[in-house]
């Protein structure tokens, strides 16, 4: 019996999220379908994060067990070939790809052994409508004050009860206390003056829609709707209605999953 840990990347635009659903195309469902063919046995995949519809991944992790003979490296090649279109895949790129696979100890579980995650949220901050970026960025037309956003981010870093950044409808958690180890906000401008803002957030766990609500709150600070210091009061209040809007899914990327605490905390 092998226990395999996968690293996966995907464009979430055409998926109804990670978790398998009847009659709907999901990342978990596609992986299980393809891996079951490659391994010639039923495969059930356990993912680290249940990303929502439209959310992307650069480094999603998932594990599965099976009694199959195909070598691990060939498993990746065969699965990616099917995911890209099979015999007609020459020159094609699919929206889901296994980046790597490795054998791990029998008791390892991709979700329960994870120590934390890093997400990246991408904002396109310009006036002109960008139709070719609509599925990869959140476009905000009003110019954002990035220094105010950085100031607000200081109130989010650390260990807090983040109930104010939790949307209704998610899985009920035993506690809403989380630790945000790092929250960086940077920007880039291209030769045409288009401005992209990146919010990179690393923590030991995230509540339902937490990163998207944090992003929406920071956008409201950057646009002048909220003062930076109001974020401290928002966190302390624990009230969702005081925080900003929920930013749309297409700008969100699951960037990395950590399995060692020292890597997560930067020790």
Report, as residue numbers or ranges, the catalytic residues.
52
The H or E element containing residue 259 is: none
Helix (H, G, I), strand (E, B) or coil at 96: strand
Residues near 146 by beta carbon (within 8 Å), at least 6 away in sequence:
185, 187, 197, 222
The answer to whether the CB of 36 falls within 8 A of the CB of 43 is: yes
| Contact yes or no for 55/12 (Cβ under 8 A) | yes
Can you tell me whether residue 100 is helix, strand or coil?
strand
Structure tokens at 252: 């969100």
Whole-angstrom distance, CA of residue 199 vs CA of residue 111: 24
H or E element that contains 3: strand 2-10
Taking the CB of residue 109, how many other CB atoms lie within 10 A of it?
Answer: 14
- Asked if 203 and 179 touch (Cβ cutoff 8 Å), the reply is yes
Closest of 37, 38, 15, 39 to residue 28, by C-alpha: 15
What sign has the CA pseudo-torsion 232, 238, 247, 114?
positive
Residue 119 annotated as binding site: yes
Known binding-site residue numbers for substrate: 119
């Amino acid at each position: 019996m092998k226990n395999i840990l996968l690293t996966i990347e995907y464009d979430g635009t055409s998926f109804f999220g990670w978790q398998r659903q009847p009659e709907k195309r999901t990342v978990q469902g596609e992986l299980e379908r393809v891996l079951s063919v490659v391994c010639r046995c039923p495969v059930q995949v356990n993912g680290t994060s249940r990303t929502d519809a439209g959310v992307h991944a650069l480094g999603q992790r998932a594990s599965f067990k099976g009694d199959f003979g195909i070598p691990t490296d060939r498993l990746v090649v065969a699965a990616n070939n099917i995911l890209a279109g099979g015999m007609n895949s020459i020159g094609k790129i699919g929206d889901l790809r296994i980046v790597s696979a490795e054998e791990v100890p029998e008791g390892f579980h991709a979700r329960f052994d994870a120590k934390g995650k890093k997400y990246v949220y991408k904002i396109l901050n310009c006036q002109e409508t960008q139709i070719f970026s609509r599925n990869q960025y959140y476009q905000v037309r009003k110019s954002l004050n990035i220094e105010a956003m950085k100031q607000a981010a200081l109130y989010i870093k650390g260990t807090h009860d983040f109930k104010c950044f939790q949307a209704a409808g998610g899985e009920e958690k035993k506690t809403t206390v989380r630790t945000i180890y790092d929250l960086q906000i940077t920007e880039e401008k291209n030769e045409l003056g288009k401005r992209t803002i990146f919010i990179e957030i690393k923590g030991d766990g995230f509540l339902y829609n937490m990163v998207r609500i944090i992003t929406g709150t920071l956008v409201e600070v950057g646009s002048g709707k909220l003062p930076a210091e109001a974020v401290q009061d928002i966190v302390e209040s624990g009230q969702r209605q005081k925080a900003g809007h929920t930013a749309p899914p297409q700008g969100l990327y699951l960037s990395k999953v950590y399995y060692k605490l020292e890597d997560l905390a930067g020790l």
